[in-house]
């Protein structure tokens, strides 16, 4: 009978898809673990330098990825410091204060921002430096601050979206609280809405952090180097984990550097997996709150 | 809750500021010429120079932690452009500067080593010798299978360098006699990347500096002449080039010290260790 | 000591002023976020301006990229970007439908459902560079060995890797829509005696036609905008591909390569033209997305 064979075909096809994709991902993780697990050791991070000296940059680290870890960490922290206040504030405005027209316009432009490819954002950062060099600051260079600002721009739409979604997700009864207590608009937002949506916003922040940590295309154009040591100040060149992975894949000089590449990839995967897991857990908590309520 | 978040935010900013402004501790250098100096040297350009620059940087930075040396690649073209525009202190090139470049940017050249450009293949490739005409035909795409030049019955996989590369320029002028390179050739961005690409592919052919040839790839004899540094020195291997460090005008004291270090006897050892010929 | 007589009205005036200022600050934040994308577009156009004013646009709209011989055409790269996206979609879309059918059919509840969903969520967190990294060391040699055509760095390798990259996002978006459709139609379908596969095939998927288009558009957007995968595994030859085993270069990889290596001014301008192309392409996708999506913004 026709429906039965069609069903069988459909079922087989869906099982195949599921198995293919699961197998590929499991293989990817397994391969990285298998090749990279040997490389995981203090030598991966610090090379020949003692860890006490390397930790705060007292002695330079050669052939170790600690500067890359510090670089990625600095990028993430700086980008978050820039993006989180602006993103959450914009999200609050769009959700609570904006008129329909403003919502549509600003929403469209923010959507466009989210659609910008990361290499174009890196190009933007690079041209910013070119412009500055031609006009106001002839000594301007690419560096940590520029890269962090560009990453903050990439990450901004995520923050705005999650803030908006969390605020919109608050049920009507809770919103009536503010009016019933005679709170002003801002007092209502600050004391009622934000505490209720805090978990959702936090989930968005963690997601943004994960995105900032894994980005490569932006930093390619705005100051990352394969060997730059610890960044000495906010305008310095820096290293970063994803760029190390790319560089070592393309240009490892011997088997030891290749092993280091696998180790770096594994470290990056662990870091992003941890961030992702944390964000997933927070999201589940936030969702559960409204389900049970 | 917002207040505590705000406090955390300010605290984080403060920590960053402190970390950002803190400098490394002082330690006197054993390398005499760098004693008492401090600052940053930025180097960019030719990828053939990178191993030598990295080793020199490591020696200097270990001896004097107040000095910071940043090395990056990009190719000779990038080296010229960046040093000309003042973005870096030393621009490395694997080819001599053109008149126009010297005039436009006011650059000074410091040659420090002799290197050759070898045609490289995978170590398991049975081909060991190619005529100049065969090399030209292979790279232009006229010959597409290895058995036409005495190898296995396999397709030839071409690898070439990007446009900014000095290695590519020298190879194009002296080996290919300005012939064309097939547009289907894979493009890699540095000598190191060329090495990795050829080492991983049994049917690959490419070109790299002789200093980059090691056990993972094999240099091919060109018209019977082996691509060794001796042959480059005595002139029998035609595809050679000098490695240059270039600065914009007279170099600053710290940069001058670095250049002197490369040209000193310790620098000589580093150059030789990486397979180049000191001048 | 200030009189306490009008303390209440003073407090009210203070709070009212504070409210106004807070609204202004929040508006500033929102306005800034919106203004950024305008700044990016202006910057790109400004740097492309010489191409238009000096009538050199034709130089960039060529089919050959060969700076040594003064050819600065980026059309091969544009063609590759589009072709690569289509290939990635051809692989990813059926897989998306398949996995969604699995999630809503046979595995509707239970441990496997949750595990599959968790795996998909996890995939969205894997960095792009890791996909590229594993492809370079596994997929490329595999393709070289299996097909014996080309170096392995090819359109096919990039297409396959990209499809795995865009898959999780596509599945999660479609899954969310199917969940909603399911809530509406499942009981009816079961009452009519449909099997799970029939329900999905004939009821749920057709009900989510809009979501299917959204899914495809999202996947296309992600595939066009990706840089690292094509930079690492596509081979980077600036040519128009004649087979899927040819080495190719996308617009994104072109920007990364040229700015990191080239130094002629015409090449610089071609890069800005490439950036503008990309930006316009993505804007088109976004415009279509807004037109098709039911509720405004869909991210990631």
Q: pLDDT tens digits for A177-211?
A: 878 888 888 888 888 888 888 888 888 898 888 88
In the predicted structure, residue C57 carries a pLDDT above the cut 80: no
Bridge-partner residues for B244, per DSSP? B93, B111
Residues in B 125-144 with any Cβ partner in A closer than 8 A: none
CA distances from C284 to C58, C224, C277, C281 (A): 23, 12, 11, 5
Bridge-partner residues for B39, per DSSP? B67
CB B97 within 8 A of CB B220: no
Residue among A9, A175, A150, B76 nearest C263 (CA): B76
Pairing of strands B129-130, B221-222: parallel
pLDDT of residue B247: 93
Q: C111: alpha, beta or left, given left = phi > 0 and alpha = psi -120 to 50?
A: alpha
Under the banding of pLDDT at 50, 70 and 90, the label for residue A2 is low
**Surface-to-core class of residue C55, CB atoms within 10 Å of its CB (0-12 exposed, 13-18 middle, 19+ buried):** exposed
Q: Does B162 touch chain C (CB under 8 A)?
A: yes
CB B217 within 8 A of CB B122: yes
Set of chain B residues whose Cβ sits within 8 Å of the Cβ of C148: 154-155
Percentage of chain B beyond pLDDT 90 is: 24
pLDDT digits 0-9 by tens, B174-215: 888 888 888 889 999 888 899 999 998 889 999 998 888 888
In the predicted structure, residue A289 carries a pLDDT above the cut 70: no
**Who has greater pLDDT, C105 or B26?**
C105
Q: Where are the alpha helices (DSSP H) in A48-143?
A: 51-55, 66-92, 100-115, 118-134
Give the N- to C-terminal CA distance of chain C in Å, as an integer: 58
In the predicted structure, residue C23 carries a pLDDT above the cut 80: yes
Chain mean pLDDT for chain C: 86
Q: Does C34 touch chain A (CB under 8 A)?
A: yes
Under the banding of pLDDT at 50, 70 and 90, the label for residue B279 is confident
**Surface-to-core class of residue A63, CB atoms within 10 Å of its CB (0-12 exposed, 13-18 middle, 19+ buried):** middle
Element housing A220 (H / E): helix A217-221
Set of chain A residues whose Cβ sits within 8 Å of the Cβ of B72: 225-227
pLDDT digits 0-9 by tens, C213-259: 888 988 998 899 999 999 999 989 988 998 889 999 999 999 988 88
Percentage of chain C beyond pLDDT 90 is: 34
**Surface-to-core class of residue C48, CB atoms within 10 Å of its CB (0-12 exposed, 13-18 middle, 19+ buried):** buried
Report CB contact under 8 Å: B162, C148: no
Pairing of strands B240-248, B107-121: antiparallel
CB C60 within 8 A of CB C273: yes
pLDDT of residue B15: 66
Q: Tally the C-alpha atoms within 13 A of residue B83's C-alpha that lie toward its C-beta.
A: 36
Q: Alpha carbon A73 to chain centroid distance?
A: 11
Can you tell me the distance from the alpha carbon of C233 to that of A189, in angstroms, rounded to the nearest whole number? Answer: 49
ipTM for this model: 0.88
Q: Does C243 touch chain B (CB under 8 A)?
A: no
Under the banding of pLDDT at 50, 70 and 90, the label for residue A32 is very high
Apex C126 CA angle, C125 and C131, nearest 5: 155
CB C37 within 8 A of CB A109: yes
State whether residue B70 is helix, strand or coil.
Answer: strand
**Who has greater pLDDT, A116 or B33?**
A116
Q: Where are the alpha helices (DSSP H) in chain B?
A: 2-21, 50-63, 76-84, 99-105, 132-140, 166-174, 191-199, 229-234, 253-263, 265-273
The neighbours of chain A, by the rule of 3 or more Cβ pairs under 8 Å, are: B, C
Q: How many CB pairs under 8 A join A and C?
A: 255
pLDDT of residue C5: 80
Neighbours of B83 (CB within 10 A): 27
**Surface-to-core class of residue C90, CB atoms within 10 Å of its CB (0-12 exposed, 13-18 middle, 19+ buried):** exposed
CB A120 within 8 A of CB C81: no
pLDDT digits 0-9 by tens, A47-96: 777 777 777 767 777 788 888 998 998 999 999 999 999 999 999 999 88
In the predicted structure, residue A169 carries a pLDDT above the cut 50: yes
In the predicted structure, residue A1 carries a pLDDT above the cut 60: no
Torsion angles phi and psi, residue C103, rounded to 5: -70, -30
Can you tell me the distance from the alpha carbon of C136 to that of C134, in angstroms, rounded to the nearest whole number? Answer: 5
Q: Is the dihedral of CA B231, B236, B238, B241 positive or negative?
A: positive
Determine if the pTM surpasses 0.80: yes
What is chain B's percent helix, strand, coil content, to nearest 5?
A: 40, 25, 35
Give the N- to C-terminal CA distance of chain A in Å, as an integer: 48
If you average pLDDT over each of A50-54, A270-274, B59-63, C79-83, which comes out highest? C79-83
Set of chain A residues whose Cβ sits within 8 Å of the Cβ of B190: 250-251
State whether residue B96 is helix, strand or coil.
Answer: coil
Report CB contact under 8 Å: B164, C141: no
Torsion angles phi and psi, residue B110, rounded to 5: -130, 95
Å between A273 CA and nearest CA of chain B:
24
In the predicted structure, residue C132 carries a pLDDT above the cut 60: yes
pLDDT of residue B20: 47
Report CB contact under 8 Å: A60, B188: no
Q: Which residues of C159-181 are buried (b: 16+ CB within 10 A; e: fewer)?
A: bbbbbbbbbbbbbbbbbebbeeb
pLDDT digits 0-9 by tens, A126-164: 888 888 888 887 778 888 999 999 999 999 998 999 899
Set of chain B residues whose Cβ sits within 8 Å of the Cβ of A228: 70
Q: Which residue has the tokens 């919502």?
A: A103
Under the banding of pLDDT at 50, 70 and 90, the label for residue A23 is very high
Interface test with A, best of B9, B20, B84, B213 (most A CBs within 10 A): B20
CA distances from C133 to A195, A261, B16 (A): 41, 9, 32
pLDDT digits 0-9 by tens, B44-63: 988 888 889 999 998 888 88
Closest-CA residue in chain A for B65?
A59
Set of chain B residues whose Cβ sits within 8 Å of the Cβ of C153: 186
Residues in A 209-248 with any Cβ partner in B closer than 8 A: 225-229, 232-234, 237
Mean pLDDT of the region B114-138: 91
Report CB contact under 8 Å: C263, B157: no
Q: Does B184 touch chain C (CB under 8 A)?
A: yes
Residues 6+ apart with CB under 8 A from A57: A70, A229, A230, A232, B24
pLDDT digits 0-9 by tens, A107-122: 889 988 988 999 999 9
pLDDT of residue C121: 86
- Determine which of A55-64, A250-259, B46-55, C120-129 has the lowest per-residue pLDDT on average: A55-64
Set of chain B residues whose Cβ sits within 8 Å of the Cβ of C152: 201
Can you tell me the distance from the alpha carbon of B9 to that of A85, in angstroms, rounded to the nearest whole number? Answer: 10
Report CB contact under 8 Å: B162, C261: yes
In the predicted structure, residue A43 carries a pLDDT above the cut 60: yes
Element housing B241 (H / E): strand B240-248
State whether residue B188 is helix, strand or coil.
Answer: strand
Percentage of chain C beyond pLDDT 70 is: 95
Report CB contact under 8 Å: C37, A109: yes
Under the banding of pLDDT at 50, 70 and 90, the label for residue B30 is very low
State whether residue C196 is helix, strand or coil.
Answer: helix
Å between C242 CA and nearest CA of chain B:
10
Pairing of strands B67-74, B39-45: parallel
Q: Does C144 touch chain B (CB under 8 A)?
A: yes
Mean pLDDT of the region A256-265: 90
Element housing A279 (H / E): helix A255-292
Report CB contact under 8 Å: B74, C261: yes
Q: Does C126 touch chain A (CB under 8 A)?
A: yes
CB C221 within 8 A of CB A115: yes
Chain mean pLDDT for chain B: 85
Under the banding of pLDDT at 50, 70 and 90, the label for residue C148 is confident
CB A265 within 8 A of CB A271: no
pLDDT of residue B27: 33
Apex A72 CA angle, A67 and A77, nearest 5: 125
């Amino acid at each position: 009978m026709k429906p039965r064979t069609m069903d069988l075909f459909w079922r087989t096809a869906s099982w195949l898809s599921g198995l293919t994709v699961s197998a590929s991902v499991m293989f990817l993780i397994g391969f990285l673990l298998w090749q990279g697990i040997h490389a995981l050791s203090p030598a991966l991070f610090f090379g020949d330098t003692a860890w006490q000296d390397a930790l705060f940059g007292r002695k330079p680290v050669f052939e170790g990825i600690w500067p890359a870890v510090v670089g990625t960490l600095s990028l993430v922290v700086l980008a978050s410091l820039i993006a989180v206040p602006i993103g959450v504030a914009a999200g609050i405005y769009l959700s609570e204060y904006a008129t329909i027209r403003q919502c549509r316009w600003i929403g469209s432009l923010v959507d466009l921002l989210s659609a910008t490819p990361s290499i174009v954002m890196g190009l933007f950062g690079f041209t910013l430096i070119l412009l500055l060099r031609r006009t106001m600051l002839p000594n301007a260079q690419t560096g940590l601050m520029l890269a962090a600002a560009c990453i903050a721009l990439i990450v901004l739409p995520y923050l705005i979206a999650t803030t908006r979604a969390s605020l919109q997700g608050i049920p009507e009864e809770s919103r009536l609280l503010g009016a019933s207590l005679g709170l002003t608009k801002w007092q209502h937002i600050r004391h009622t809405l934000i505490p209720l949506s805090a978990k959702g916003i936090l989930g968005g922040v963690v997601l943004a952090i994960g995105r900032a940590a894994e980005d490569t295309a932006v930093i390619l154009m705005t100051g990352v180097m394969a060997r730059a040591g610890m960044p000495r100040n906010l305008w310095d060149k820096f290293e970063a984990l994803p760029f190390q992975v790319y560089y070592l894949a393309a240009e490892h000089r011997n088997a030891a550097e290749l092993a280091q590449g696998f180790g770096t990839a594994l470290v990056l995967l662990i870091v992003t997996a941890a961030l992702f897991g944390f964000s997933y857990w927070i999201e589940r908590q936030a969702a559960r709150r409204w389900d049970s309520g | 809750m917002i207040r505590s978040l705000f406090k955390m935010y300010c605290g984080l900013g403060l920590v960053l500021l402190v970390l950002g402004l803190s400098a490394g501790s002082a330690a006197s250098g054993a390398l005499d010429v760098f004693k008492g100096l401090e600052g940053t040297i930025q180097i960019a350009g030719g990828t053939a120079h990178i191993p030598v620059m990295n080793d020199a940087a490591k020696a200097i930075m270990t001896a004097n932690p107040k000095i910071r040396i940043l090395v990056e690649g990009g190719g000779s073209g990038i080296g010229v452009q960046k040093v000309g525009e003042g973005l870096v202190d030393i621009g490395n090139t694997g080819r001599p500067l053109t008149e126009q470049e010297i005039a436009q940017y006011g650059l000074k050249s410091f040659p420090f080593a002799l290197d050759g450009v070898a045609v490289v293949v995978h170590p398991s490739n049975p081909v060991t010798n190619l005529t100049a005409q065969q090399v030209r035909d292979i790279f232009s795409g006229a010959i597409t299978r290895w058995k036409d030049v005495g190898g296995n019955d396999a397709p030839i996989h071409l690898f070439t360098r990007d446009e900014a590369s000095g290695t590519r320029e020298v190879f194009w002028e002296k080996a290919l006699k300005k012939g064309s390179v097939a547009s289907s050739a894979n493009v890699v961005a540095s000598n190191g990347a060329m090495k990795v690409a050829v080492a991983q592919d049994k049917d690959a052919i490419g070109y790299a500096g002789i200093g980059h040839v090691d056990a993972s790839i094999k240099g091919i004899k060109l018209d019977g002449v082996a691509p060794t540094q001796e042959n480059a020195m005595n002139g029998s291997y035609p595809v050679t080039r000098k490695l240059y460090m270039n600065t914009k005008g007279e170099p600053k004291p710290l940069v001058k010290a670095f250049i002197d270090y490369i040209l000193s006897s310790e620098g000589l050892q580093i150059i030789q260790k990486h397979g180049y010929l000191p001048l | 000591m200030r009189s306490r007589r009008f303390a209440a009205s003073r407090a009210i005036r203070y709070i009212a002023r504070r409210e106004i200022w807070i609204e202004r600050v929040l508006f500033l934040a929102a306005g800034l976020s919106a203004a950024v994308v305008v700044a990016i577009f202006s910057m790109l156009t400004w740097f492309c301006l010489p191409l238009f004013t000096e009538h050199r646009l034709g130089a960039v709209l060529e089919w050959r990229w060969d700076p040594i011989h003064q050819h600065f055409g980026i059309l091969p790269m544009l063609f590759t970007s589009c072709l690569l996206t289509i290939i990635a979609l051809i692989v990813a879309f059926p897989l998306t439908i398949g996995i969604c059918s699995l999630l809503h059919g046979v595995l509707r509840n239970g441990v496997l459902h949750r595990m599959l969903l968790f795996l998909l969520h996890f995939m969205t967190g894997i960095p792009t560079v890791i996909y590229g990294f594993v492809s370079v060391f596994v997929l490329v040699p595999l393709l070289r060995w299996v097909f014996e055509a080309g170096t392995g760095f090819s359109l096919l390798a990039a297409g396959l890797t990209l499809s795995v990259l865009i898959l999780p996002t596509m599945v999660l978006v479609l899954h969310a829509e199917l969940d909603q459709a399911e809530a509406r139609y499942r009981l009816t379908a079961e009452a009519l005696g449909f099997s799970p596969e029939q329900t999905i095939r004939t009821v749920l998927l057709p009900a989510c036609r809009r979501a299917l288009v959204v899914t495809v558009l999202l996947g296309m957007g992600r595939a066009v905008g990706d840089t690292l995968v094509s930079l690492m595994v596509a081979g980077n030859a600036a040519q128009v591909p004649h087979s899927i085993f040819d080495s190719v270069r996308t617009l994104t990889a072109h920007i990364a390569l040229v700015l990191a290596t080239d130094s002629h001014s015409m090449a610089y301008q071609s890069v800005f033209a490439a950036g503008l192309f990309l930006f316009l392409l993505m804007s088109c996708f976004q415009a279509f997305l807004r037109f098709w999506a039911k509720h405004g913004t869909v991210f990631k």
